[in-house]
Structure 1
């Protein structure tokens, strides 16, 4: 729901992390395929417009509400289907849905660097307003929702030009005022109020579409921006009656905070990677199945040290911006050496992306 069939992400994640058996994966794959191909009689449940999505490669705004979010969520779900299909050995299905997972490219507007609704004739919507909520977007504007390409950030980066880069667009996202127009909602909903209240640019950490945004700098030449944003956003949480910077919806905001305190976050469910941020505590111990433990330490963890100089996993220096599920479940120790000024991390391996890094 809201929108698409994002239960697909839970299934793919459980499959790739070997929580499901091959038999269970096959059963769930059948269910995923039904959701992807059989329209629900209730527009609030399941996918709509699959004929048009398959024909155009996107949902046209003149025929469907929240067309941008629907399109992006369908492409991510198709990636999830592809991942499960690979695991059960159905290469034909994996290829088909892996190709469909790239349909996000069809609504990208290189002039704005944002996802722009298209009509059924292939024309971008006129009078585009990047801060208008609703209509073509779900609980946000184009700013909150244009980067929901969790499975192919590198492919998204490649759609930008030298004059307008992915990194520049993310910086603009962060640095502008938390302004909004009520748009299709017709009135100010609580998510708009919450975004304005914390005044953190257009990074509306108060609502789910923005949860991964601070971590996207890990895919750029400035991963230290992720560390800085995560540490600043974590300070928005406390144990008072207003201790959440927005709507604690089904535990999602608590989950964001817990992951961000650990120092990594699952930007792309359906893969075995967690993207590094910065740990908030001197020492954290994870109890792993099988009586193993994974210890996370932060050295020189002072308020002024907001960057990670280096990470050491089981005595060896890491040169990657993510940690794998298998590395966590094997047990061991991750040590982050924090510093006052950011170190050069240009040679580190980037997190997963459907397109080659």
Structure 2
């Protein structure tokens, strides 16, 4: 299918879904969110050298959920929890059921602890791939609070809504006859369990969780427990393994492709309501979650409740524009930036202990315990966004990191599956904690947090088994000995081996952030040492070439013309991409590269020569770095270009993995006109606001208003700025300016004002 008709079809479907809805919720901002954006192969206009074919799918799912809830209730077109296979793809034409997914939305990881259910009619089919139904996107509605689809093979209209830990389904049957419900735990390892309880009118079971990256394949110490409740009187029930059915048998375990089924008689146009819930603690937790979150069997009431939750979330930032598509892109991005980290505790506060699963812990009343921190991605923009719009939630997330440190002994690097992983590189728990603290978030124990951060930064592992298990910084001994990680250290005990230069650059940044916290806490000697270590980036940027380069233990740089090639000492990019990873000391980087003229020439070439790669995170700060060298208008130009070419309101509308919402959080910031180049400092680089007006509603009951006079696709350049009525010439905003409330006004034009922001 050609791109233009594909896009027009999708936009028409969005309009149809809005028009067809009769509920109040579609009168608000939900109408601008089609949750299928990012579920197809990228059709963005990116023309650079990198990205296409490497991360072609955004890997998002069209989920119904609460913001940062436990479960992502999603339609399923792929029956697996295998790494890098999302539950749903737009190109698929067969729908297999509805999953309580724990997929890291937008990532290339794996699902875990999930369950899938599917309604059938006429005949029982148990295997997920054989029982699937043809469906059409023009009979599908996908919003944050409601999903519906017509299952053509069975004549069933299936509807889904829910809450954080629970969901409710409504199945409407076109004909009179035999209806079935099949349920299966999605254990690829064949270790799940399922049983039918006709007295309690429920199917229940569990799916053991297994680790990935460090500790790959090992049992994580806890399970995904689930309950599916029904009211309809049964005609028959049983269990199955694959295609083999066992009528009347109530339980199965520890086999692949197991499941349970129910049969009941339905009338023409009869509606059958099904409820489901889950827990990571135990079956009683799943039952309590359902009782507390969805005590009713009224589908529309639950839908309205979830719609109100989403309207409140999306209303945290109100935007005004004549472009309906820009509203869709913005609120769609805000939706995708509201998935992760996820709530992990039950309604009563219980959750499995970090890195072991036992004992069961209880988070403080009024708080949630969060997990699935895709840290290497989300520290850049997603967590800074939370520090503006939801600082209490951000503080609870930091508190969760502290709990992980207390329970596991080390501050985790990339905590997912409620375990250590050491996936990716860096030590960006420090960035997340430091950014929250620097920006005034205080609902966590900063001294305990500092204890964990300092241990990561200064202490090497005492146990090789703990280190291999994912605890502590990779290659810290080399980093402390040389001031960089030399090429001779292959970093063997990591999911990403080698990548020595990228690690050095990221550790230098993390050391800078930790230095800011140390200084604020009066830890002067730590501040001195960490500030010195923050200059370690200079050890891996070759002053001769001006680019990042591999370096040996004897101090010699690698002799190779490799700035624009993928090399093993750089993470998911090239030396040219990582050269700009000095967000904490751009003046020093300018000097290291040979001065302002050389800095600007190289920076300009990133865009003029197609070197920039937006579909992966290492480049995300680069377009804002013109601001540091007196070229604010170039930042305005390139950021707008990226917004227009790398983001579309289309199933293929994202140019790379959304990575737990980082790509989307980037767009939220960029469209508002500022971006946190260096989390851990209270500053944002100003770019080019795209909305006539945007209102950020703050938790302190104040509002920060951004007005862009004459803003349009043509008028992308800032002519002048006023902050609270006074002329403003800085090319950055401070966090305190935002928290105070007030108004910043931009006068926009079609030609650059080359003097503004110098």
- The residue correspondences of 1:278-297 to structure 2 (distance < 5 A) are 278-297=688-707
CA 1:212 to 1:286, structure 2 compared with 1: closer, same or farther past 3 Å?
A: same
**Cα displacement (A) at 1:339:** 1.2
CA distance in 1, matches of 2:478, 2:634: 39
1:49 aligns with 2:482: no
Could you say which residue in structure 2 is the equivalent of 1:156?
589
Single out whichever of 55-64 and 247-256 deviates more from structure 2: 55-64
Partner residue, 1:183: none
Length-normalised TM-score, structure 1: 0.87
Report the TM-score when normalising by structure 2: 0.42
Q: Which residue of 2 aligns with 1:32?
A: 453
Q: How many angstroms apart in 2 are the aligned matches of 1:70 and 1:135? A: 12
Deviation per CA, 1:12-52: give whole Å up to 9, x if none. 1011011036x722111111111122346138664122222
Residue 601 (structure 2) aligned to one of 144, 150, 168: 168
1:354 matched residue in structure 2: none
Among residues 419, 424, 427, which one is paired with 1:2 in the alignment?
A: 424
Is 1:260 equivalent to 2:635 in the alignment?
A: no
Residue equivalent to 1:342: 752
Cα distance in 1 for residues equivalent to 2:440 and 2:700? 15
1:271 aligns to 2:681 (yes or no)? yes
Q: Which segments of 5 or more consecutive residues in structure 2 lack a partner in the other structure?
A: 1-422, 491-497
Secondary structure of 2:515 counterpart: helix
**Residue 224 (str. 1) matches residue 646 (str. 2):** no
1:199-238 C-alpha deviation (Å, 9 max, x unpaired): xx11111111011010000111211100000101001212
Q: Whose radius of gyration is greater, 1 or 2? A: 2
Superposed CA RMSD in Å reads 1.7
Mark the CA change 1:5 to 1:85 in structure 2 (over 3 Å): closer, same or farther: same
Query: 3-state DSSP class of the match of 1:251?
Result: helix
Distance in 2, Cα, partners of 1:24 & 1:277: 34
**Greater helix proportion:** 1
Could you give the per-residue CA deviations for residues 219-263 of structure 1, whole angstroms, max 9, x where no partner exists?
A: 112111000001010012122101112111100000000000110
Choose which of 547, 566, 569 in structure 2 pairs with 1:133.
566
- Measured against aligned partners, the alpha-carbon deviations of 1:110-151 in whole angstroms (never above 9, x if no partner) come to 222111110111111122311221400000111111111110
Contact 2:690 2:716 in 1 (8 A): no
- Larger mean Cα displacement after TM superposition, 146-155 or 34-43: 34-43
Q: CA deviation at 1:81?
A: 1.1
Alpha-carbon distance in 1 for matches of 2:437, 2:562: 39
* Residue among 691, 710, 713 paired with 1:303: 713
Task: Report how far residue 89 of structure 1 moved.
Answer: 0.8
Per-residue deviation, residues 296-348 of structure 1 (Å, max 9, x unmatched): 11111122212101111110111111101110011111111111211133664
Q: Secondary structure at the match of 1:225?
A: helix
Poorly superposed stretches of 4+, deviation over 4 Å: none
- Structure 2 vs 1, CA of residues 127 and 160 (structure 1 numbering), >3 Å: closer, same or farther? closer
Q: Distance in 2 between matches of 1:123 and 1:261?
A: 43
Q: Is the 8 A contact 1:113 1:164 kept in 2?
A: no
**Alpha-carbon distance between aligned partners in 2 of 1:46 and 1:258, rounded to the nearest angstrom:** 33
1:70 maps to 2:492: no
Deviation at 1:107, TM superposition (A): 1.2
State the partner residue of 2:321. none
Which residues in structure 2 correspond to 1:90-239 (within 5 Å)? 90-161=523-594, 165-176=598-609, 201-236=610-645, 237-239=647-649
Structure 1: how far apart are the matches of 2:603 and 2:513? 25
The corresponding residue for 1:241 is: 651
1:58 corresponds to which residue? 484
Structure 1 Cα separation of the partners of residues 472 and 619 of structure 2: 22
Cα displacement (A) at 1:162: 5.2
Q: Deviations over 1:44-91 (max 9, x none)?
A: 664122222122110001213101111001101111110110111111
Cα 1:119/1:164, change in 2 over 3 Å: farther
